Amino acid sequence: MKNRLLFFLCLVVCIGCKNSTKRNDGKLNIVTTTTMITDLVKNIGRDSVSLQGLMGSGVDPHLYKASEGDVSKLTGADVVFYSGLHLEGKLVDVFEKMGRYSNTIALAEVLDKGSLIGSEYFASNFDPHIWFNIEYWKQITNYLTEELGKMDPDNASFYEDNKEQYLKKLDALEEEVRQTIATLPEEKRVLVTAHDAFNYFGKEYGFEVVGLQGLSTATEAGVQDVQNLAQLIIDKQVKAIFVESSVPKRTIEALQQAVKSQGYDVQIGGTLYSDALGSSGTEEGTYIGMFRYNVNTIVEALK
């Protein structure tokens, strides 16, 4: 507790001492949390911003804890963009402290709460995996662009132009996704994954989505959860189940064995990107590439 208090005191003092709005080279110094947000800032800010992402490929934001190096990045930032809705569970206290003295922006706050998926099992009462709804991601793109323009009016038109280009790419992605999913019969649209990260995806594209763990990977699946889901897979003749890149695969492997023990063979259809993008420099290391990869993997495995 003492160490935690010292952490916050140091954080607040550092932030209070900070009074610059740009780096010496004239670029906004931006820190982001998840890989999805980092990729979005890259598309909108490009070379006109200095960007540091805290989380890398395969990192689970639900469990992520700030290191000493992260504290230095956060306190030196002109703005911190994070997802919100308690996705970054272990960082919530940090952002709440920072919010009183610095520019921290929870991007999900722009979304209409009435349209979000609620949950009695998650602290925020809303499913935080909003990036799996492309329309939500467009709203967040608009919001982030607006905020960048306010902080850096000299480059506001540059950000706007980049936004318009990116929104066109998201429109094309949406059309492609719907065409791909249309090739999968509706009765086969049952998506079983490690945790409940795909509910927005399921709601938008007509999938029944079942996660072995809850909305947060901090929760653990019990024996009864595994048995119940195994029975559902058998009853619905689900062909494949999926591992997630940011969740240990042992939970899905245990589910697969539980199904096999009852005489039904279910395959592991591949690894989906849920709470983080793929490796930097790859197609899956971008939001658009990740979404396309997930959809193709799901559809091919369930056919």
Give the pLDDT confidence score for residue 286 in this predicted structure. Answer: 98
d(CA 104, CA 97): 10
Task: Output the pLDDT for position 100.
Answer: 60
Give pLDDT, residue 214: 54
Q: Which CATH class is domain 185-302?
A: alpha beta
Q: Could you tell me which of 303, 268, 301, 291 has the C-alpha nearest to residue 184?
A: 303
Percentage above 70 pLDDT, the chain: 85
In contact, 57 and 245? CB cutoff 8 Å: yes
Burial 77-103, CB ≥16 within 10 A → b, else e: bbbbbbbbbbbbbebbebbebbeebbb
What is the model's pLDDT at position 17?
Answer: 44
pLDDT of the chain, 303 residues: tens digit per residue: 435 534 443 544 444 444 445 555 789 999 999 999 999 999 999 999 999 999 999 888 988 988 888 888 998 899 999 999 989 987 877 776 776 656 899 999 999 999 999 876 555 589 999 999 999 999 999 999 999 999 999 999 999 999 999 999 999 999 999 999 999 999 999 999 988 899 999 999 999 999 887 544 445 556 777 888 999 999 999 999 999 987 778 889 989 999 999 999 999 999 999 999 999 999 999 999 999 999 999 999 999
Q: Tell whether domain 2-175 is in CATH 3.40.50.1980.
A: yes
What local confidence, expressed as pLDDT, does residue 8 receive?
47
Radius of gyration of the chain measured on its C-alpha atoms: 20
Q: What pLDDT does 101 receive?
A: 58
pLDDT at 71: 83
Q: Cα–Cα distance between 274 and 294 in angstroms, integer?
A: 9
Quick: pLDDT tens for 48-98: 999 999 999 988 898 898 888 888 899 889 999 999 998 998 787 777 677
pLDDT at 123: 53
Q: Kindly report the pTM of this predicted structure.
A: 0.88
State how far the Cα of 237 lies from the Cα of 171, in Å rounded to an integer: 34
pLDDT at 131: 98
pLDDT, residue 287, reads 98
One-letter amino acid for residue 150 of the chain = K
42: which 2 tokens? Answer: 């890259």
**pLDDT number for residue 224:** 78
Centroid of chain to Cα 92: 15
Predicted local distance difference test score (pLDDT) of residue 22: 58
Task: Check for a shared fold between 2-175 and 185-302.
Answer: yes
Per domain, the residue ranges of the chain are 2-175, 185-302
